[in-house]
Structure 1
Amino acid sequence: MGSFNRAPDSKETAPLTGSPSWDLPAEIWLQVLRYLLVKRPEQQHGNALVVLQPLSDWTGQDSSNNRLSSQVLRTNRAFYQAGIELLYRENVFEMNGDDVWVLPNFLSRIGPNIARIRHLRLDHRNAGHEDCRGAPHRHPQEIVYVSGWIRDLWVDRLFECFPTLRSLETLSIAVDLPSRKMRDSVARMETGLYVKESGLAHELCVAKQMQDRVLWNELHGQVLFYINKLGIWRAANSLDQWFPKLNANVYHGVGEHGAYGIFSTKELEISSSAQKQRTAAHFLTARRLQVDFAEGKVSHWNRDLPFSNTTSGPLAFSPPKYPSPWASGSGEWADAYARARDFVSQLTLLEKVNLTTGVGYLRLPLALAQTVVLNAMYLPGKADYVSAFPAGVNVAATWSRGLAYARGEAMGVEHRGKGVDVQLGPVCGPLGRIPEGGRNWEGFSPDPYLTGALIDPTIRGIQDAGVIACTKHYIGNEQERFRQAPEARGYGFNITESLSSNIDDKTMHELYLWPFADAVRAGTGAIMCSYNQINNSYGCQNSYSLNYLLKNELDFQGFVMSDWQAQHSGVGDILAGLDMSMPGDTTFLTGLSFWGTNLTIAVANGTVPEWRLDDACVRIMSAFYLVGRDTTQVPINFDSWTKNTFAPIHIAVESPIGLVNEHVDVREDHAGLIREIGRASTVLLKNSNNALPLSGNERQVAVFGEDAGSNAYGANGCPDRGCNNGTLAMGWGSGTADFPYLITPEQAIQNYVVTQTTGIIEVVTAQGAVTQIQSRAAQADLALVFVNADSGEGYISVDGNEGDRKNLTLWKQGDDLIQNVSALCNNTIVVMHTVGPVLVSDWYNNDNVTAILWAGLPGQESGNAILDVLYGHYNPGGKLPFTFGPTRESYGTDLLLEPNNGQFGAPQDDFDEGVFIDYRAFDRMNITPIYEFGFGLSYTTFEYSDLVVTPQNAGPYVPTSGTTSPAPSLGNNASTDYSQYLFPNGTIDRVSNYIYPYLNSTDPAAASADPEYGLPTSEYVPAGATEGTPQPLLPAGGAPGGNPGLWDILYTVSATIRNTGSLQGDEVAQLYVSLGGDEPAVVLRGFDRLTIVSGASATFTAQLTRRDLSTWDTVSQNWAPAPGPVTVYVGSSSRNLPLSSTLPSY
């Protein structure tokens, strides 16, 4: 419910079995409509009709009134007449459908009552022939937004039928405009009419048929409040006549998001190339601001967001939240904060700017005179003598907090040894909303609890090793396609803005923000903001997500770092909460920066208050001291762009040759840990007739599949792993590392068979060698088939997979390989190295496929890890961190594949499924998965018993209140004498394209290189952004991670797990909770991996916190007790829960 511009091809879940038919008689549809209105369920999804939950008094209406949303309300005239009458009688005041066709003669019935219609189409055959003025106003709601075409309707009729209309998706008005009536009608409007797109704007604005130019000059500022895309076809040379106030009083802003008149267009298309028109177009688009609501006394309908007196346009909206909260040193940050304040108080303005601005792409830091700089901000992925660890998704499959900590600590040790200050990880964005998501494997799981429970020890491990963890990507970065407009254009998509992830308030808190709260509570020193937009505001300048959610509600004390090239403004970013610009340049190797010189000027001239820059520096240095970098820091000893010992000191520019790589080996004994995580994360999905473990007595062993072997180009033969050749042990993109070596399954298995058994082995890795495959399979006692599916970051395309996967099938005809081999060998074992779920429906229940294992992306010890599991050296205990569904459609979420917001607008990705992703969606839709979330077999068996739920004596939940202290003043106020900031020629050498804090001129306009320098600050400094007085605290805030009361323990849950088999094994006991109401059927709220010897028992214990048993209340902006009744379940997977108990009220 965060966006009200759902894509035309969006799907609702059908309430009835089977495909809907639109040929049913009208009386049948009427019965359905009447049923829904009478029953008034909280929510019913359907291709025909949807009734959303009753509204509270946020509209000023009685809470019994309904909002009616219809995906398709389009059958026949009889249904229209009866249906509209019924809507009228039942007081339905909102139609929120994707396609609502209404004849004009029904406007008298729906017009005064319907508050909002998403897509309204008026039958032009009868347009303008009915009078709406006589309609009774029993519920005089404002009709503020119509999304769809209003075609050939006289304007006076438009305003008579919809007297309070504010926003219109697309308008086409007959050329014979009744001008005087139009003027009289719009005179009643307080703010004007929002038109998103006018495909026939030439008829509206500059048509030859329109004679009353005086009228238009008088009205255009009222009628056209905001045009997203305006096409002027005729009389383009009269732009100054048609928009006489364009650069005058009509063209002015009221803060970041508000405006009067024509304030902003995303694209103004003008056919003429006259200089005047091009100048006007530039003036309109240069601000890079989006006007996404109209100001005035009009109702708002986004009840999920706590703002008022505004009305959103058709796109999702992110409300402005200023000023940026300043760090306070709360919790474990107190000592680090005090040291940081003391340090920053001694810095000059130039030093502070240098600390917050990266030095540019492909650069090593320089030792600038009297400046401070952190050593390195990048992952040493391309360095040598480093380890290639298992992916985050494999850590999730271990369900082991201990292994998560050990991996984090080992990675931190290696970063520290290379001289790196900040590790760009771990990842909890993407969460995994879409199974094809390209970078899902870098994170943990689509379940927020599991991700949060594992990101906590990962961060603690990294930072205990003395390196700052940078948790990423914040927030809503759930697909690669359209994440960056330039990248998308490279793939042939003509867009100018990044995708907008449109997320409602409840979903944001209960899914996507949840693990970031755990990361903040764990003390993460940094958080990286993402490329995408969130509710149509870029992630690195989104004041709501950075200032309001992260720094206020979650009380984040560290610093926010931009993703590389995710910055889109200068002043706007730092005021919205960005603390560090990376890599520093506007685009790679330009030598220009939004910050650097421009930030020096902005602070010196007072545009950015110095306390905001001080706060950014204090946050950076607090993280530095928190992890002990002052005692653990070593000089950088590697170059991320070359493995040569000697190379140019400054890459990509003329530079002297120097020592850039010392080839320091930082791997220590991490190979053993990597092998342990690899085998602990292997999930046994099928094991018919105890096919596994292998005995070692198999006489003829055959291994099939390219995934078993080596990459012919070498393990590191494809830059950033940008290919899928040989065994898959890591996805592709910037989150990868070069392998120091890679043990393939072929190598490990062949060595074992030859040295430890009396059998023989043959390997066929060429999947197209059908004859050889069939011959070897027919002779084999055992066939091991290795298959895979890959994905990665969006800047690389592999086999047409542009980061995200094109589908959920196995790569390189893996399904055919399995079926060919299993047709000839009745003991076929399948091993899957995949980045996430794949479709296995065609072969998983084949009797000849006796065992199936998911091995993920296990890193450099891949072959050894799977060998240990296959031959019983290790009893598998991994569990799925996601769901294997029967079909792609069963997941309920889709990639956005095509731009859906006009030719140039930001693609709109509406998270309409809310909190129902992965297993929650399968439960809600009652779809049986192939292998459910949390599923995994063992070579032994376990039995669950003795569930005990014990209430704890937690106190009441107390919402946080009060205010902050004023913004701290650290002294060293910036001078307005620009000569103090000039480049120190003669002291240091200037390096080409390097980003400096210095000015090259005492004229700030010349030094800035910003064509918009000199505009009034009211144009780009939001209201309240520079205010340093005490600010109110949020009820859900108060400490890192949120209100401390959220972690009060309300119940302790325990159960007995007994190993009933003959082998020692690991069992992951899982605790789920049903929260009642319209919440998911169950949600994960606890787990533990227990090692139990044969015949013995162990006690599983978990604690349920207040947060675990709460849901987000969008009205109070706080966590509230779940609707209940609340039931706890304990078992071995999300669908195998033998123990349960209903909690008493709390």
Structure 2
Amino acid sequence: MRVRPALALALAPLALTALSVGPGVAVPAAVAAESPCPWVGSTAPSAERAAKLLAAMTLDDKIQMVHGTAAPLAPYGPVQAGQVAANGRLCIPALTATDGPAGIGNAATGVTQLPAPIALWATWDRDLARRYGAVIGEEARGKGANLALGPGIDIARDPRAGRHFEDLGEDPELVSELAVAETHGIQSQGVLATAKHLAAYTQETSRNTDAGDARVDERTLQELYLAPYEKLVAAGVDSVMCSYNKVNGVHACNDTYTMTQVLKGQMGFRGFTVSDWFGMHASVASANAGLDLQMPDACYYDTRLRTALAEKRVAPQRLDGMVTRIVTPMFERGVFDRPATGTPGARVTTTANAQVGRDVAAAGTVLLKNDGLLPLDPATTRSIAVIGSAAGRNALGSGGGSAHVIADRITTPLQALSAEAARTGASFTSYTGALPSVAADKARGADVAVVVVSKLMTESKDEWDLQLSLTDRLVLEAVTRANPNTVVVLDTGAPVDVSPARGAKALLSAWYPGQDYGTVLADLLYGRRNPSGRLPVTFPASQAQLPAAARDRFPGGDHAEGLAVGYRWYAQQGLTPAFAFGSGLSYTTFSYSDLVVGAEQADGSFPVSLTVRNTGSRAGSTVPQLYADQPAGVAATPRALKDFAKIELAPGGSRRVTLTVTARDLSHWDTSQDRWVRAAGDHALWVGDSSRDLPLRGTAHVAATTATSAATPPAPAGSTAGNETAGESVKDAFVCGAGGFMAGGVGLASYFGLPAQQQAVVAPTDTTSTTATGTQVP
């Protein structure tokens, strides 16, 4: 469907059209004689500096600080994704936001196209997550931005969700641990980080509409969908973005329970909450529920908020709190104390940043199957055939929507593997067309056939099934029949039905691997890099196995599966997936032995140690994973991930590894007390290299039941009980008609989807290496 211009304008967060960039980012104003701005350059704590600034602000100054400055009907801007205006009189620099979670978006060029977040999470590597975040922070600053809209920490509930490639996994422990590392990386560059989306944002269909309602019980909300925010808050994340969906009937951006009672009260969040772009549906209700910043426009928090303050429906202390929460992390990250030297048109990609992308792509590629075919030996691989349009012109380095990043160019599998053939003197042929018979003919005579298949996923459109395209399915079946030595590469943002590839000897999930796709793939196939990726999500054997397979669950919104999401569902139901959460093969082998559960520590944690040995002939990495059960008498899904470590070992090498299960890890959410409780009894502990391969077992004995958190506080006086009243909504619509129109466009687009985006400035082609031997059939 062709998107009309008016609708395209309404798709605020998606960055699907070229961004009209205004003047450069405002820098802190020089200190004027009549306004000394003592909060600039001060060594006082950030809270003190924020208090001094607040005391000097007028009502107009404060109002200006709590909304963006995009023009009516503009999807973002005036710079990058959006901007809070600078205030020269008070030396307040502009707060400039940029998408997104996979690198610099908003149609920017001259940036590093990093692998998709799901590829990062498939690394299970905290250090790589920190480096990934540092690249985002560095390039954001180089583009003149100081607020990065990431990381995304939505739980991957269903692989058909359009933003699944932005999701970080189906388990809150994995999600939160790597998100903390990525956040530290972003913030290390003096850029504010934004965790998103609060809360239970699990589908695109009907988003930002009354029909988009995630109905989730309290325990599931706390243990699964809110849990990742707890560690991020403890780590000092600067801001949290509320989501497009409703949560149990209440629009997320005016939901007192999630934003104020849980995030700010129970978890102690000190930063600011920000709306998703045009995700607001109320003025008074949002302010009183705990939303601090409207983006990218102004009407709800300018004209309407002024009226509400004058009529005493919003307390002045609430406005002061909003401003304080926004400026305090700006002080923390040094935004007030340094000039903003970056510009939107700057070229910010570097060799070092590209190397981070390659490292993530290599470590995040998951070897799902290998019947002795890989790694390829140049001495015996004397001919190679590369099949599939996704190997060339349709190679996908990035998914669609606000997480989309445009590369300068993408090195495709076709280019890299043809160059490899030229280097080794092997003959090379390729076919990127759609005819299965031709694909089979090309593959039949080759020592090895490599088939690359793809599925584009994008924000604003859910998938209806797990199927690859009919062309890809037919080509896969034809090639695997013609040549038993077939490698299949999945260029997808989520698990897909892999049954058409059942005849292949090797299968890899490359996700969306970024700009150096082909280079990394060649290194992996030829063994210069040893695959070490582990699945952050489960590959089902069929769509019928999905926890949310029923239409009332996805995209219907009923989260009746509760805690049984991902691998927990498969264990609970006794189902065998195609590939399990946490699994992944290597070109070497490992053994786990000698599990010891140590004595309970003073903080209630238990150390769990084991010996890991590389029993193969190659250096490689593995990921020991620790899972825990609740004791008898506590209703729970089986075995939940609690800790993990990624370690590298030389051939024959071994290491004693210590994992930790904390008191909080062994707790469950007690709805009768509205708090976390660690139950007395024997908590079974399991260690292995996937959720289904757990050979080591131990026990953590807890002597007495204890609370491990404070209770969720009640809603504060004057807060919003639910959605805004009909009368207030009419007033909002009268003043904020343009914003409502844009919000409606976001919702409408979720039923139709959006056009594919540009993958690279220099578009991928079916051109092979000019030095490769053999022939190519386009």
SS in 1 for 2:337: helix
In 1, are the aligned partners of 2:152 and 2:167 still within 8 Å (CA)?
yes
Q: Partner of 2:512 in structure 1?
A: 857
Q: Partner of 1:751 in structure 2?
A: 419
Name the CA distance, whole Å, in 2 between partners of 1:342 and 1:605. 27
Equivalent positions of 1:478-877 (< 5 A) are: 478-485=202-209, 497-585=210-298, 593-635=299-341, 637-638=343-344, 661=345, 663-667=346-350, 669-695=352-378, 697-710=380-393, 726-754=394-422, 756-766=423-433, 768-794=434-460, 803-844=461-502, 846=503, 849-877=504-532
Instruction: Provide closer, same or farther for how the CA distance between residues 805 and 1123 of structure 1 changes in structure 2, counting only shifts above 3 A.
Output: farther
Q: Partner of 2:77 in structure 1?
A: 363
| Cα displacement (A) at 1:773 | 1.2
User: Deviation digits for residues 1050-1084 of structure 1, max 9, x if unmatched?
Assistant: 10011100111111100111111122343121111
| Cα displacement (A) at 1:363 | 3.3
Which amino acid counterpart does residue 471 of structure 2 have in structure 1?
Q
Name the CA distance, whole Å, in 1 between partners of 2:686 and 2:437. 51
In 1, are the aligned partners of 2:391 and 2:452 still within 8 Å (CA)?
yes
Instruction: Provide closer, same or farther for how the CA distance between residues 334 and 553 of structure 1 changes in structure 2, counting only shifts above 3 A.
Output: farther
In 2, are the aligned partners of 1:1075 and 1:1123 still within 8 Å (CA)?
no
Q: Partner of 2:533 in structure 1?
A: 878
% identical aligned pairs: 34
Q: Partner of 1:1066 in structure 2?
A: 621
Q: Partner of 2:63 in structure 1?
A: 353
In 2, are the aligned partners of 1:375 and 1:636 still within 8 Å (CA)?
no
User: Deviation digits for residues 6-55 of structure 1, max 9, x if unmatched?
Assistant: xxxxxxxxxxxxxxxxxxxxxxxxxxxxxxxxxxxxxxxxxxxxxxxxxx
Which amino acid counterpart does residue 312 of structure 2 have in structure 1?
G
| Cα displacement (A) at 1:686 | 1.0
User: Deviation digits for residues 545-576 of structure 1, max 9, x if unmatched?
Assistant: 11111110111100000001111111111111
Q: Partner of 1:646 in structure 2?
A: none
Name the CA distance, whole Å, in 2 between partners of 1:348 and 1:682. 53
Instruction: Provide closer, same or farther for how the CA distance between residues 466 and 481 of structure 1 changes in structure 2, counting only shifts above 3 A.
Output: same
2:97 aligns with one of 353, 365, 377: 377
Instruction: Provide closer, same or farther for how the CA distance between residues 1112 and 783 of structure 1 changes in structure 2, counting only shifts above 3 A.
Output: same
2:116 aligns with one of 372, 391, 403: 391
- Unpaired stretches in structure 1, ≥5 consecutive residues: 1-332, 486-496, 586-592, 639-660, 711-725, 795-802, 900-906, 955-1047
SS in 2 for 1:909: coil
Name the CA distance, whole Å, in 2 between partners of 1:518 and 1:895. 32
In 2, are the aligned partners of 1:697 and 1:757 still within 8 Å (CA)?
no
Name the CA distance, whole Å, in 1 between partners of 2:563 and 2:279. 27
The higher relative CO (CA closer than 8 Å, separation ≥ 6) is in 2
Name the CA distance, whole Å, in 2 between partners of 1:469 and 1:582. 15
- Bigger Rg, which one: 1
User: Deviation digits for residues 698-737 of structure 1, max 9, x if unmatched?
Assistant: 1221000111002xxxxxxxxxxxxxxx112211111111
SS in 2 for 1:783: strand
Name the CA distance, whole Å, in 2 between partners of 1:855 and 1:873. 16
In 1, are the aligned partners of 2:681 and 2:701 still within 8 Å (CA)?
no
Name the CA distance, whole Å, in 2 between partners of 1:400 and 1:357. 36
Which amino acid counterpart does residue 534 of structure 1 have in structure 2?
V
Which amino acid counterpart does residue 322 of structure 2 have in structure 1?
A
Name the CA distance, whole Å, in 2 between partners of 1:871 and 1:387. 25
Instruction: Provide closer, same or farther for how the CA distance between residues 892 and 363 of structure 1 changes in structure 2, counting only shifts above 3 A.
Output: closer
SS in 1 for 2:323: helix
| Cα displacement (A) at 1:689 | 2.5
Which amino acid counterpart does residue 397 of structure 2 have in structure 1?
A
TM-score (norm 1): 0.55
Instruction: Provide closer, same or farther for how the CA distance between residues 1122 and 747 of structure 1 changes in structure 2, counting only shifts above 3 A.
Output: farther
Name the CA distance, whole Å, in 2 between partners of 1:559 and 1:728. 35
| Cα displacement (A) at 1:605 | 4.0
TM-score (norm 2): 0.80
Which amino acid counterpart does residue 421 of structure 2 have in structure 1?
V
Equivalent positions of 1:31-430 (< 5 A) are: 335-360=45-70, 361=74, 362-364=76-78, 370=89, 372=92, 374-379=94-99, 380-381=104-105, 382-429=107-154
1:1100 aligns with one of 657, 667, 689: 657
- Unpaired stretches in structure 2, ≥5 consecutive residues: 1-42, 704-778
In 2, are the aligned partners of 1:778 and 1:825 still within 8 Å (CA)?
yes
| Cα displacement (A) at 1:596 | 1.2
Name the CA distance, whole Å, in 1 between partners of 2:419 and 2:624. 36
Name the CA distance, whole Å, in 1 between partners of 2:277 and 2:347. 27
How many residue pairs get aligned? The number is 644
| Cα displacement (A) at 1:696 | 5.0
Q: Partner of 1:138 in structure 2?
A: none
Name the CA distance, whole Å, in 2 between partners of 1:729 and 1:749. 17
In 2, are the aligned partners of 1:694 and 1:870 still within 8 Å (CA)?
no
Output the aligned Cα RMSD: 2.0
Which amino acid counterpart does residue 434 of structure 1 have in structure 2?
D
In 1, are the aligned partners of 2:444 and 2:483 still within 8 Å (CA)?
yes
Instruction: Provide closer, same or farther for how the CA distance between residues 459 and 876 of structure 1 changes in structure 2, counting only shifts above 3 A.
Output: same
SS in 1 for 2:114: coil
Q: Partner of 1:231 in structure 2?
A: none
- Mean alpha-carbon deviation: is it higher for 1070-1079 or for 1058-1067? 1070-1079
- Mean alpha-carbon deviation: is it higher for 826-835 or for 601-610? 601-610
Instruction: Provide closer, same or farther for how the CA distance between residues 1108 and 781 of structure 1 changes in structure 2, counting only shifts above 3 A.
Output: same
Name the CA distance, whole Å, in 2 between partners of 1:728 and 1:545. 36
SS in 2 for 1:1095: coil
SS in 1 for 2:395: coil
| Cα displacement (A) at 1:908 | 6.0
| Cα displacement (A) at 1:632 | 4.6
| Cα displacement (A) at 1:611 | 1.0
Instruction: Provide closer, same or farther for how the CA distance between residues 748 and 895 of structure 1 changes in structure 2, counting only shifts above 3 A.
Output: farther
Which amino acid counterpart does residue 625 of structure 1 have in structure 2?
F
